[in-house]
Amino acid sequence: MDYRSGCPISNLVDLVGDKWSLLIIRDFFLERNTFKQFMDSPEAIATNILTDRLKSLKSKGIIDFAFAPNNKKTKYYFLTDMGIDLYPVIYEMAMWSRRNLDKDYNDIATNWFADNIDKDGHEVKAKSIEEYKVIRQDLFELVQA
C-alpha cells in the first residue's frame, strides 16, 4: 500500500477514507456479513461499488471471507483483527455526529444512541468489540461445519 504521507490520519484515510468503506465496516457490527445483507443497507450502495470496496478492504487486510459450506457461491465476510480495531473510530464518528449535526437519525441509530448515550464510551466500545468477536467465531464454526 502506498501512503501519501507519514501522517497517521492521512494513512487511515488512504485505507478507508472513501464514501463507502466505513459504512461497510459499520455493517459488520450490525451483524451483516453477506453481499446481499450489505446491499440491503439503507444507503443503497451499487453492486459494482460494493464489489470493488469488498475487494479493496480484503486486499488491505481489513476484511476476509469464507465460503458457505453448502454453497461455494456464497461468501461470508468478516472483519479481521485489523478491521475490528476500527470500531472505536466508528463509535467516535457516530457520537460526533450526534453532538454536532442537527438531524433525525434512522431507527437503528436512534435506538443505538438511546441504549448507549449514558454509558461510558470505553465500556461501549469494549462490549461491541467482544460481541463482534463472538459473531465472528460463530461464523467460523458455521463455515467449518
Find the DSSP H helices in 30-80: 35-39, 47-59
Task: List the pLDDT tens digit at each of the 145 positions of the chain.
Answer: 777 888 999 989 988 989 899 999 999 999 999 999 999 999 999 999 999 999 999 999 999 999 998 888 999 999 999 999 999 999 999 999 999 999 999 999 999 999 998 999 999 999 999 999 999 999 999 898 7
Q: How far apart are CA 97 and CA 105, in angstroms?
A: 10
CATH number, residue 53? 1.10.10.10
Q: How far apart are CA 19 and CA 16, in angstroms?
A: 8
In a domain, 135, yes or no: yes
In a domain, 92, yes or no: yes
First to last CA, the chain: 35
- pLDDT at position 123 is 96
In a domain, 2, yes or no: no
- pLDDT at position 71 is 86
In a domain, 51, yes or no: yes
Domain range for residue 67?
8-144
- pLDDT at position 1 is 74
Beta-carbon count within 10 A of 42 CB = 10
Q: How far apart are CA 88 and CA 70, in angstroms?
A: 35
Q: How far apart are CA 104 and CA 98, in angstroms?
A: 9
In a domain, 1, yes or no: no
Domain count, the chain: 1
